[in-house]
Each structure stands twice: as C-alpha cells, then as structure tokens.
Amino acid sequence: MARINPKFSAELKSFGAFDANACYNCGNCTAVCSLSDENNSFPRKMVRYSVLGLDNEIQMSLEPWLCYYCGECSTTCPREAQPGELMMSLRRWLTSKYDWTGLSGLLYKSLSATIVAFILLAAGVIWFAASQNFNTEKMLHFGHYFEMIAIAAVFVVILIPDIINMWWKTVYKTKVKVPVSAYFKALGELIIHMFTQKRTLGCDDSKTRWLEHLILVAGYLTLLFTTVFLDWFATQSTFIIILGYVESAVIFVITFIFMGERIMKKQEVSIHAHPSDWFFVIWLFLMGLTAFTVRLFIDLDILETNIWMYLIHLIILVQWALIIVPFGKWTHFLFRSFAMYFQRIKELDG
C-alpha cells in the first residue's frame, strides 16, 4: 500500500512550489505538454502525487526530469496552480533526496545557509592567499591544481554516489527487469543528452533557447578543458590564449543574455526564479568574466600588481566548484541526462 506523507505539500513549498492544492485535476497541463506521452503523463500525475503526499512514488519516478520547463502548462492552467514550477521544485527536492550529504536540501531551503557557505569559502580563499603573501605564482599554481582536484573529488565523493542513489530509486526499486546489455545499448542516449540536451527541441518555440544552451555548454566544457589541461593562464601558445578568450567570452555573453531574460521575465521559466537559479547564472557569468579579465591582465603584464583580480576569480571558482556544482543547479544538467539514460534502459527491459 502506498505511504502518504501529509507534510509533503508544505515541504515542497520550501523548494519553491506554489499551492498544488489549487489543482482540480482537469488535465489541461498534460494535454498541452509537448513532451509528455502515453507512458509519462506529466505534469498532472506529479501534481496529483504531490497533493496526495505520495513522496515515495515521486522518488521512484523519472518524470520530473523529463520536463524541460517550457512553461506552457503553467500558462494554460485554469487554476494557476503553476504545474511547471511544481515540476521544477520536484527536481530540486529530488536532488536533495539523491544527495547523501543532505547539503543540497539545506542550501535549497535556506538562503541564509547558502550565503553563509559562500562567505565561509570566500574567507577561506582570502586566508589561504594571505598565508601565501598574495604571491602571484603560488596563487596561480594553487588555482590550477584546485580545479583538477576539485573536479575529481566532487565527482568521486558527491556526484557518482548521488547518481547511484538516483539509479537505486528510479531503476532498481521499480523492479523493472533490466538486462545488463541495456546499460551498454543505452549509453549513446546518455552522451547525446549530456552534450546536446536535444529533448529541449521537443518544446514549442524552443530552438533559440536550445541553441543558447548548446553554445553555453560547449563554451563551459571547452574552457574547463583549456584551463585545466591546456593551462590557459600559464601558456605561451597564441592559439590556446585566443581559444580561452573566445570560450570565456561565450560564457559571459550568453549568461548575460540569460540574466537579462530573467530580469525582463519574458519567459515562463524566468518568472518564478528561485535563488539557486540566480546563483547558477550569476556565478557562471562571473566565472567567464573574471577568467577573461585575469588572462587579459596576464597579457598586459599587470596581474602581479593587481593580484586582487585573480583573488576574485579564485573565490568565484572555489564557490562554484564546492557549492553550485555538487549541491546546486549544476546537478540538474547531470541528473537530467541520467534520467534520459535510465528511461531508455527501462524501455529496453527484457
């Protein structure tokens, strides 16, 4: 028998949801959703589950990740129950359930805890820089190795266990018999969705949004490669220097557009922005902008006398790598891709 959690609606509100109890189950939202199908009748089913407090069923479902927040359901809901925002809140809530540390939930629910975490990390970086007498060479060296170690540590300690937890809840516990070969056959799905997020194209009028995201993901991943493996801040290669400038410029230009869209509230997705949405886009913007400026200062030979610029970049980088990537909105990109993978695996069941 299904277990009912009477406090679930209230809990979901702390992740950003509106009053799902306003829903009178008309089904308009599912009818207009271009991504739902006969096997996945979201968002109505998820709205119902939320109202009824069926949190176990929601944890076992991949449906919240199959929604790409075009917002059509919210604009057509006659009860203004905001089903699109509910799906977004479910994704935040699920992230907190996959995360074994519990920090995702804390940071999503508490703005003050997030701000304290940002301040503590900034203080830690400043303390470290002071302990190195703000020596440019030592700070650059630390920043370079921090990126490598942080990426590896965050994946091994936080993200891989979270993905295993997601698999446990959404594949294993659903008792769908999946042959081992399905995990290999579906790998292409994972890679395609991770790098292209092509499901976005299923939403109406989404080509521009999809293209912006594609360019941003390409800029982000290639800049990561350029800074970590091609050592952008230390290289003498003109090609790599220009490559890094282009990649970082792509990031801050696209994120600047995103911030403008959020401020103008032109799209449904921008109307109910949660603090975590703002942190994601602002920190990505600052990462691109400060990386660009640091390299410019190096090329103008003024970084040593303006080491504060690198200190700002390092603070942004550390906050991004230790808060937003493992516990914030960045994880949605990962979980969404794995949801498509797990969904494909389940379709290939024996």
Which residues of the shown chain bind ligand SF4 in the complex (CB under 6 A)? Answer: 23-29, 33, 35-36, 42-44, 47, 67-73, 77-79, 81, 83-84, 87, 203
Shortest spacing between CB 17 and ligand SF4, in angstroms: 12
183 versus 333: smaller Cβ distance to ligand SF4:
333
d(Cα 90, Cα 12) in Å, to the nearest integer? 7
Q: Among candidates 68, 70, 329, 344, which has minimal Cα distance to 198?
A: 68
CA distances from 230 to 90, 218, 238, 300, 312 (A): 39, 16, 12, 20, 22
User: Alpha-carbon distance 163 to 335, whole Å?
Assistant: 7
Least distance to ligand SF4 from the beta carbon of 256, Å? Answer: 25
Give dist(CA 159, CA 177) in Å, integer: 25
Nearer to ligand SF4, 40 or 276 (CB): 40
| Closest to ligand SF4 by CB, 272 or 346 | 272
113: its two tokens: 């805890």
Cβ contact 12:90 at 8 Å: yes
- Tell me if 84 sits within 8 A of 71, measured CB to CB: yes
Beta carbon of residue 101, minimum distance to ligand SF4 (angstroms, whole number): 28
Q: Which residues does 105 contact at the CB level (< 8 Å), separation at least 6?
A: 93, 96, 97, 99
Nearer to ligand SF4, 69 or 292 (CB): 69
Task: Choose between 20 and 163: whose C-beta lies nearer to ligand SF4.
Answer: 20
DSSP 6: T
CB-wise, 72 or 189, nearer to ligand SF4? 72
Least distance CB 343 / ligand SF4 (angstroms)? 15
Closest distance between ligand SF4 and the C-beta of residue 348, in Å?
24
Q: Which amino acid is at 224?
A: L
Which residue lies nearer to ligand SF4 by CB, 81 or 190?
A: 81
Q: Indicate the length of the chain as a whole number.
A: 350
The C-alpha atoms of residue 244 and residue 226 are separated, in whole angstroms, by 6
**Of the candidates 263, 331, 312, 316, which has an alpha carbon nearest to the alpha carbon of residue 285?**
316
Q: By C-beta, is 233 or 258 nearer to ligand SF4?
A: 258
Q: Which is nearer to ligand SF4, 78 or 188 (CB)?
A: 78
User: Distance between CA atoms of 207 and 155, rounded to whole angstroms?
Assistant: 31
Pick from 60, 152, 130: nearest CA to 97: 60
Question: At its nearest, how many Å lie between ligand SF4 and the CB of residue 342?
Answer: 18
Please report how close the Cβ of residue 280 comes to ligand SF4 at its closest, in angstroms: 18
CB of residue 210 to ligand SF4, shortest distance in Å: 13
Cα–Cα distances in Å, from 270 out to 36, 105, 131, 197, 264?
22, 22, 42, 19, 8
CB of 77 to ligand SF4, least distance (A): 3
DSSP string over 31-66: HH-SS--SS--TTHHHHHHHHHT-HHHHHT--HHHH
